[in-house]
A and B are shown apart, each in its own frame.
Chain A
């Protein structure tokens, strides 16, 4: 639906007010990263400084947490890409017994509160005698990343005409060629978008991670510790700002990728 008439004034104010509510707290992070105040959250900041950026860059614990988060996000995204795409292809392309169940199963890890996923995985790990490691974090993350990839891929599979696969095979492409030359190029942007969002989600996850990390520290766990028992507020401010900047870029990229995809993939109809 789109209208060429102008919005009622009340609606416009409500909408813009809503936007301010959504964006202002994030903007605030950027100001606090430069405040000279170390002990409280005083507003307005008594003075501005860039020294805390340098201090943060020199902190080994921050770097280690960041490295672990990146590693976990990369592996879980890869796993999610494989499982999510396979499942999406099966659900979108064929009818089989249990198809409905699978599409429900996939959204379960995000439909149920994270704490439930966390505690049940933790009890499963202890039941199976699996010690906590990077891999237990990865498994927890992959569980809910799958749905992100799945949603993106299934939408693209549905938009991409099934006749394209028929056409490729009809023209002499075998299964491998059909996948590489026709299927993959058509779903690539959806996978890239889904992958980036899954990465962002994993990079940020804290609730499930607190149950599956043991005593390892990902960046969100580091943040959580700072929030519960603040030790060095200025460093936390800077880390918070860095995290915001890092998440903005994939969002913008994903936006442009999926927007273009809607034009190309649907054009055969």
Chain B
């Protein structure tokens, strides 16, 4: 490679072409570049989506005329007062209890799966665990609900399994309990709970596994080297390090349970959850202000939840 041409110009003349020239201009103005890149998202999410959310929020401060059923566009807290009636308050508490139960159960169930996948599974097992989590995660939501309708049906596989194991008495005993029992599993809170747990479990496993994978194995060795029993090193080392992952997962399990209106409609008794209340109020009942007020509940809860999760560093585990 001889002959470095020292007469060659140090600065080249710009190439032509309108597209190139336009792109050049944008690149030379980094602020413009960034502005153009975030413009579509700002227009759509920042203005239309957030705008719609705010419009919804505003509607919750309107009320409905009880005789004509027409929305009165005047600022009032009347609708929120309605939200605090025992019947509606029950709906809210019921939903929050369900979301809490599902979240706790999901964390308990997810941890061993995530821990095994992160620490011990390799090769074929690793792939199996990946499929085992991803398949239910990405399978159709309705197909999953449907599958559980099959599982929980009175004439279905679960009843059959209990009978085969001579445990029918246990199932009957469970169903005869107040609150969580019912005529059959598919019309009880237990059934609703199981379906929620199943559907949202992968959303817990993935962040927990991600946070566990980031824990260096040497840390656990260090803990046991320093004299910690397995139980202690779980409680004092592993669990605190996995906590951001669990919180990240709980954002999903909690939020998704709060807003769901399809699962309790298909598997469960006739008592309403927030999602169903919103759906009926805005649909058949035509009471948009009350529907809006109902949606404010999960927004407020999730707002507090996200704020707290952010403080605990859960977003890094997403």
Contacts and interface: CB of A to CB of B under 8 A. Distances in A.
* A contacting B, Cβ–Cβ less than 8 Å: yes
A86 interface: yes
A112 B160 contact: no
Given A26-B136, A113-B275, A228-B265, A120 B49 contact: yes
Contact of B146 (A1, A3, A210, A223): A223
A37 B275 CA distance: 33
Interface residues of B, number: 102
B299 A112 contact: yes
A90 interface: yes
B243 interface: no
Interface in B80-129: 109-110, 112-113, 115-120, 122, 128-129
A45 B130 CA distance: 30
Interface string A246-261: 0110111001000000
A76 interface: no
Interface string A59-98: 0000000000000000000000011001101100010101
B51 interface: yes
B45 interface: yes
B278 A115 contact: yes
Contacts of A247: 135, 138-140
A214 B97 CA distance: 33
B52 interface: yes
B53 interface: yes
B34 A105 contact: no
Interface residues of A, number: 85
Given A1-B212, A1-B214, A41-B150, A21 B109 contact: yes
A87 B38 contact: yes
B135 A26 contact: yes
B308 interface: no
B70 interface: no
Contact of A28 (B27, B131, B147): B147
Contact of A227 (B50, B136, B266, B282): B266
Interface of B: 15, 19-20, 23-24, 26-27, 30-31, 33-34, 37-38, 40-42, 44-46, 48-53, 55-56, 59, 109-110, 112-113, 115-120, 122, 128-136, 138-151, 153, 155-157, 159-160, 198, 201-202, 212-217, 220, 230, 251, 255-256, 258-262, 265-266, 275, 278-279, 282, 288, 291-292, 295, 298-299, 302, 306, 318
